[in-house]
Amino acid sequence: MSLFSYNEDTMELTIDEFIIHTERVISRVAYGVFVDCTKITTKETLCAKITSFEINNSKCEKEMRMIDTLRTAYLTNQNLVKVYLCLPYQEKLIVIMEKCVTNLEDELKKKGNFGSEEVINILKQLLNGYLPLYQKQIIHRHIKPREILISYDFQGKPIYKLSCSKIYLCQKKSNLTKVGIPLFEPPELNYMVTDTDLDQKLLQLKKIPKGKSQVDVYPIGLMLYYCLFGQYPSRPTTWLEFRSFFNNLKVHPIKIEDKSQNINSDLQEMIERMIVYNPLERITFLEIYSSKLIGIQTQQPVKLFKLTINPESKPKLQDQFSKFNQQQDDQKPLFPCSPIPNDNIEQPSFQQSTTIQQQAQFQQNNEIQIDEYNDSQNYLKAQLSENSLLYSKDTQNLLRQALESIQQFNHEKINTDSVKLMKYFKYEENGSYYTLGFLKFYYCLIIRANKEIIRKQFASEQELRQEITNILEKNDHNIY
């Protein structure tokens, strides 16, 4: 039970260890107000979002559940805003969260635009933050540059964070209504658009598993376009201008033809497939995550790796197993030793979309980019968030330790953790079930464990697999 007290003289509301300065307004928005907040124990400056709600209102309950989901996901996801507290108080919902340095909109006003490399970095971090929402069938519906908050790591590199200002739960019986910011609302939800055919496509969208997430693809595409060029494809302000823009988009899809910048061709194609009038023809999140440009795993792999026991450490591991098997709260082995059932893997339901098999073939015929830090982080985060129930507590701690070392750029600990993880991995040369995300992670792992120089690019997935085999054979590691 939280403790509340309100000081009428200073107009400060104290909740447990937090002081909310209700008169120190940061910004006012249509659904509430953001004010300064201080954590008493650490003197840390935070912010509080105060939204008016009827406490028994189902919308209030939904928002609390959704924010609680994101608060849990933050533990392994640095691209979400950290939420400290979420609770109702006198017909209001109060959310206390971290206060970031700036946001993407303000940075774009200063810099004008970003190059392809930084835009891809922004997209990867944004998608990493969006992943828990996608997995839980939560749509954001408020994605725009101002909602992408920015903090900095100890090296001064930007960390882009997805704000949780306003999000919606995709329940089976819920309706997607035409609300929001006209510029960033996709055509199927934009109240400026009247199109009965599009309304029917929206109904089809609602019947597709995770199909409602398509409404968030469109604003992400607009935002990426803005990041590249410092302007939007169109900036309508009146009803007639909006109608003209969408009518034109329906017949003439966006084509990026600006040759003044050296734009990454994969990024360009992805943006063009995002800003699409028909949501059934728009690129899906499943396609985006599995693309070679992003390569983030969204589902459980068919098989992760095998448990191996080093003969020299066998007694010690046996002792661990003996102790482990006595624990009543966790009876799983240190690592899964058999394939994870994969019967429920979601397939794209759009006829216009490419299939998983086609995507895999596409990736095999195109270059594979290696990002040592992001690829390692993404895979570890996926295991901790999606597959944590498959691991013992000791294994989870090891994965968290490895993740923290990477996030802190602690090279000595990264190398030490890599050696520890190598003791548990056994690579199968013919393991066709390995995901690209796992292959990238495993390649970075063995490179660090064996202190070799990392390659940033491979011509194909097959070449990456062969390189892993070569390194293992050269360093006398066993291969199944």
The Cα 65–Cα 137 span in angstroms is 13
Given a cut of 70, is residue 198 above it in pLDDT?
yes
The DSSP string of 71-95 is: HHHHTT-TTB--EEEEEEETTEEEE
Q: Could you report the per-residue pLDDT of 209-239, keeping only the tens digit for each? A: 888 889 999 999 999 999 999 988 888 878 7
The Cα 421–Cα 402 span in angstroms is 9
Beta bridge pairs of residue 150: 102, 160
- Which range among 2-6, 51-55, 256-260 has the greatest average pLDDT? 2-6
Least confident of 96-110, 186-200, 295-309: 295-309
pLDDT band for position 337 (50/70/90)? very low
Q: Could you report the per-residue pLDDT of 371-382, keeping only the tens digit for each? A: 888 888 888 887
User: What pTM was estimated for this model as a whole?
Assistant: 0.60
Given a cut of 70, is residue 342 above it in pLDDT?
no
Given a cut of 60, is residue 133 above it in pLDDT?
yes
What value does the mean pLDDT of the chain take? 76
Least confident of 85-89, 138-142, 392-396, 466-470: 392-396
Question: Structural domains in the chain?
Answer: 4-55+81-98 (3.30.200.20), 102-290 (1.10.510.10), 311-347+354-474 (no CATH)
Please list, in sequence order, all residues whose beta carbon lies within 8 angstroms of the beta carbon of residue 174, skipping any fewer than 6 positions away: 168
Q: Could you report the per-residue pLDDT of 63-104, keeping only the tens digit for each? A: 777 788 778 887 778 898 888 988 888 888 899 999 988 999
Burial classification of residue 328, based on how many CB atoms lie within 10 Å of its CB (0-12 exposed, 13-18 middle, 19 or more buried): exposed
Mean pLDDT value of segment 355-366 = 42
Mean pLDDT value of segment 277-294 = 92
Given a cut of 70, is residue 181 above it in pLDDT?
no
Beta bridge pairs of residue 48: 35, 96
Pick from 443, 447, 448: which is nearest to 458 by CA?
443
